[in-house]
A and B are shown apart, each in its own frame.
Chain A
Amino acid sequence: MTPAPLLRLDGVRIRHDGADRATPDGVSFDVAPGEVVLLLGPSGSGKSTLALALDGLIPHDVPATLEGTVTLAGLDTRTTPVGALSEHAAMVFQDPDAQIVTGTLLDEVCFATENQLLPLDEVLARAQESLTRVGLWERRFDNPDTLSGGGRQRLAIACALAMRTPLLVLDEPTANLDPAGIDEVYAVLGELATDGDHAIVLVEHNLDQAVGLVDRVVVLDASGRLVLDGPVREILGGLAHDLLDLGVWLPVSTLAAMRLREAGAPIPELPLTPAELTAALDALDSLPALPAPAGRAATPRRSSSEAYRDPVSDPAESRYGAGAPTRPADAVHPSGGVRVRGLDVKRGGKRGPTVVHGVDLDVEPGDFLAIVGVNGAGKSTLLQAIAGVIPAPKGRILIDGLDPATTDPRTLARHVGFVFQNPEHQFITHTAAEELDHGLRIQGVPDDERGARVDAMLARFGLEAHREQHPFLLSGGQKRRLSVGTALIAGAPVLALDEPTFGQDRERATALLDLLTALNRGGTTVLVVTHDLQLVADYATHVAVMGGGRLLGVGPTEDVLAGALIEEAGLRRPPLARATAALGRHPEWHTVTRLAQLPGRVDEPHPPAEFPADLAEATAAERLA
C-alpha cells in the first residue's frame, strides 16, 4: 500500500470572479511528503492561483469559484477553515513587504504560532529554531524594515518554518529581489530541499536557480491544463522542445546547449545549470565556430560601437553648455543623446545625503543603455536625475540638448519620457485614450490633431481594443505599454525606465524588452535601470555599472559582462557568462555572454502574436500574484 499523499488535487478548476474562463482548468496531481515540486507554465496559466488553493485561501479568502477537490493532509480545503489548514501548509508570497505584519523579527516569527494558541514556551522555542535556521536569530529585536529584500524574504520563510507544517508553498519567492537577495533565499531553500522534512511546492520563473533543488516538475499550458508531470531532468532535459512550444521558459544553460546542439555540438544530455553547461562544453574537444560579432540579435543596425561614436561625439563637444542645439524639427537623428559631467545628486532635499558622486556619462543617440548595480548603488537616483524627475545641480546634465535643472516639466516631456516602476502611479485619467490625450493637451496640441495621434499611439502599442478601458483595469502588460505610450506621446526621443521588469515573470519581461528594442531600432534612445543581468545581456547595447554612488564603468555590453566590473560591483554575472567564464578548455568562449552570440538557433518561447502576454491575464489573478 502506498502512503497517502500529503496533498491531492483532483480536477481543480478555479475561476476568479469576473474572469471569463477558469485557470487552472482541470488539474490533478499528488504531492508526497518530502517531495520538491516545481510548478511551471506560461503567464496567465494560473500557477499562482493554484498555489493559493493549496492551503484554502481559495475559495475561503479570494472571490473565486473552485471546482474539483483539493485534499490537504486528508482534509477537504473547501470545508476546512483556512486557520485549520494552516497547521498543514505554510505559504511564502512574492512581495516580502506584504507578508510582514509586526514590528520586530521575533514578533513576526511568533505571529502564526500565537494565533494557533500554542503555549508560550513552544512559541519561543520554534521562533528561535526557525530564525536560527535562516540566519536571523541575532537580529530578532530589529524592525524588519532594516533588513534587505532578501533578508525579509528569509524572514518570511522562517515564519513559515515556525508553523512546522509538512508542506511549504512558495509563490514566486524571489521575483521582487535583487541578485544578492535571490542567492540568499536559494541558499536557505537549498537546505530545506535537501533535509527532506518538508514537501515544497514552488512557483518560480527564475529557473536557473530553482532547478538545482527540484525533484519533480508539473507543467501547465497557457489555458491552465496540466500537460506534463515528471522528474525534473526527464521533463526539462528530455522534453525541452515541447516546453518551448508551450511558451515555458527554460534555464539559460539549457537554451544555450540546445542552440549548440543545433549547430552540431554533440551534447549528450541537456544541462540545467551553468556548472553543468561548463562541464558539458569542457567535455567536448572542439566547439562550433563562433559567428562573427556582427550577428547581434537585439540591435543589428550597428556593426561596431567604435565606428558609431565619432560622428556624434564631436558635435556633442560643442553642444554641451552652449544652450539648445538648432536642428531641423523633423530630424529623427541625431537627437536623443545624454551627456553628464561631474554630477552629484542629493536625495531628500539640499540637506539630504549625496547618493550619486561625480558621475561622467555619455549616451549616444540610439543607444540602449542599461544601468546596473546592487541595491543602494545609486542607479535609480542617477536615472531620475538625468530625466529631471528629481532635482540635480545646474549645468551638469544635457539630455537631448536641454538641462533638466533649468527646464520646466512640460518642455522636458517633449525630450525625455520617464516610466516608473509601477505604471499605475503615473495614471491620471479614466480611460487609456484619455491618458494619451492628456499628454498632448498639456503640450497644447490642437484638438483636431490630438485624436489622430492618440489613435496612432494606441495602434502602435496594440491597445486599440482597450481605448475606453480604465487604465487600472488593463492587464499588467497593457498597463506597462500604456505607460510607455504616455511617456512617448509628446515626441520624446529619449525613454528612461526605472526597473521596468521588477516583479514580472520572464515572459512579460521579454515582451517589454522586445517592445523597447523595436522602439530603439526606430531611433529612440533607451535608458533602463535593472538588476536582471541576463536581460541586460540579451538586449542592451551598453552597460553602465554603479557601485557606492559612483559610476564604476561603462561600455559595450559584451565587454562589460565578460570583464571583472560586474563582480567588482558586487553583482553576479548572468548564468551564461558564468558558464563560459568557467570554461577550462575553450578560452575564446570566455567572452560569450548572450544567447545571440552563440552559433545555431533555437526559437525562444517568443510571443506568437505581437503582444501575447495579455491574452489570459485575469486582473484578479494578477493582482494577487
Chain B
Amino acid sequence: MKFPTRLLLTCAAIGAAAGVLLIPVNHFSAAIFGVFPPGFAAVAGIWLLPIVVAMALLRRPGVGILVALIAGLVETPFQPYGASAIVTNLMIAVFIEIVFALALYRYWKPWLFYVAALVFGALYAPYAVASIDLPNYGLGLQITFFAVLLLSEVLATWAGLSLAKRVERTGVVRGLAAPVENGRVVRAPKSPAPATGTAAVDPDAAPEAS
C-alpha cells in the first residue's frame, strides 16, 4: 500500500510535535529517575502518546508504525538513547497496531485504545521489571509500581484520545482521516486524496463530489 506524501508528513509532524511537547516530561522523568527510580513508571505512558494521537486522528492502518518509526528517527539526535529508541518505539507501535489489525482496522472505539494500552502494558512490564530489578524491592513498592504503570498508560491513552478529538475539531485533518461513525469506519477510501478528487471530507458536504 502506498502512503500519500501528505499522510507520511502528517505522521512525521505528529511525531516531531509530540517530541517537542514532551521535552519537559523527559526532564521530569530524568530527575525523578535519579531520586526514586521506580517513579519512572509514572511517565512510561508517554511512549504511547504520539502513537495514540496519530491512530485516533487518522484511523488508517500503519500510521502507528509510521509515527513510531519517524518519531524515533527524528528524536535520535536529540536524546541520549540514540538509535535504540527507534527499536523501542517500533515494538510498542507493532503491539498496538496488532490490536487494531485484529479488528480489521474497522473499529476505532476508545475502549479498543485502552485495550491496546493494556496489551502494551503487559508486554512492557517484564522489560521494566528486569531493567530496575524490581523483585528485590518490597512487596508494597512492587504493587505500587504496577499500579502506577497501569495508571500512567491509561492516562496517556486518555490524553491522546482527548487531544486527537480536539485537534480533529480544528479541521486540519479533513480529507486525510478515515471517516467514522460511532467509532466504525463508514467508508474507507483507498487513499486520502484519490486521483479522481472525490475523497469525502464529511458526509454532509460530500454528495456532489462523487
Binding site for B on A (CB under 8 A): 15, 17-19, 58-66, 78, 430, 470, 472-473, 619-620, 623
Contacts and interface: CB of A to CB of B under 8 A. Distances in A.
A470 B171 contact: yes
B169 A65 contact: no
A241 B171 CA distance: 39
A426 B169 CA distance: 16
The winner among A62, A63, A64, A620 for most chain B CB atoms within 10 A is A63
Interface residues of B, number: 25
Contact of A58 (B170, B197, B198, B199): B197
In the complex, the 9 A-B pairs of residues with the closest C-beta atoms, listed nearest first: A59-B197, A63-B175, A472-B170, A17-B201, A18-B201, A18-B205, A63-B199, A65-B197, A473-B171
Given A470-B169, A473-B170, A61 B6 contact: yes
B81 to A, nearest CB: 22
Nearest to A470: B169
Nearest to A66: B197
B206 interface: yes
A430 B200 CA distance: 24
Interface in B162-210: 166, 169-172, 174-176, 192-193, 195-202, 205-206, 208-209
B110 interface: no
A620 B169 CA distance: 14
A18 B174 contact: yes
B193 A61 contact: yes
Contacts of A62: 175, 193, 197
A390 to B, nearest CB: 19
Given A17-B200, A18-B175, 8 more contacts: A17-B199, A17-B201, A59-B196, A62-B175, A63-B197, A66-B197, A472-B172, A623-B172
B5 interface: yes
A620 B192 CA distance: 14
B4 interface: yes
- Majority-rule SS of B interface residues: loop
Nearest to A61: B193
B190 to A, nearest CB: 13
A308 to B, nearest CB: 44
Nearest to A58: B197
A566 to B, nearest CB: 38
Contacts of B209: 15, 17, 65
Contacts of A473: 170-171
A66 B176 CA distance: 18
30 contacts: A15-B208, A15-B209, A17-B174, A17-B200, A17-B205, A18-B202, A19-B205, A59-B197, A60-B193, A61-B4, A61-B193, A62-B193, A63-B174, A63-B192, A63-B193, A63-B197, A63-B199, A64-B197, A65-B198, A65-B209, A66-B197, A78-B195, A470-B169, A470-B170, A470-B171, A472-B169, A472-B172, A473-B170, A620-B174, A620-B175
A187 B171 CA distance: 39
Contacts of A65: 197-198, 208-209
B87 to A, nearest CB: 24
B122 to A, nearest CB: 36
Contacts, number: 60
B206 A17 contact: yes
A15 B201 CA distance: 12
Contacts of A63: 174-176, 192-193, 197, 199, 201
Contacts of B171: 470, 472-473, 619
Contacts of A17: 174-175, 199-201, 205-206, 209
Interface in B30-75: none
Nearest to B167: A472
The winner among B176, B199, B202 for most chain A CB atoms within 10 A is B199
Contacts of B197: 58-59, 62-66
A73 to B, nearest CB: 19
B201 A60 contact: no
Nearest to A473: B171
A623 B205 CA distance: 18
A585 to B, nearest CB: 56
B206 to A, nearest CB: 7
Contacts of A64: 197
Contacts of B174: 17-18, 63, 620
B205 A60 contact: no
Contacts of B201: 17-18, 63
A242 B198 CA distance: 37
A58 B197 CA distance: 8
B199 to A, nearest CB: 4
Interface string B136-151: 0000000000000000
A19 B201 CA distance: 10
The winner among B192, B195, B198, B202 for most chain A CB atoms within 10 A is B195
Contacts of A58: 197
Nearest to A427: B170
A473 B167 CA distance: 11
Contacts of A430: 166, 169
A59 B206 CA distance: 16
Interface in B117-132: none
Contacts of B202: 18
A15 B207 CA distance: 13
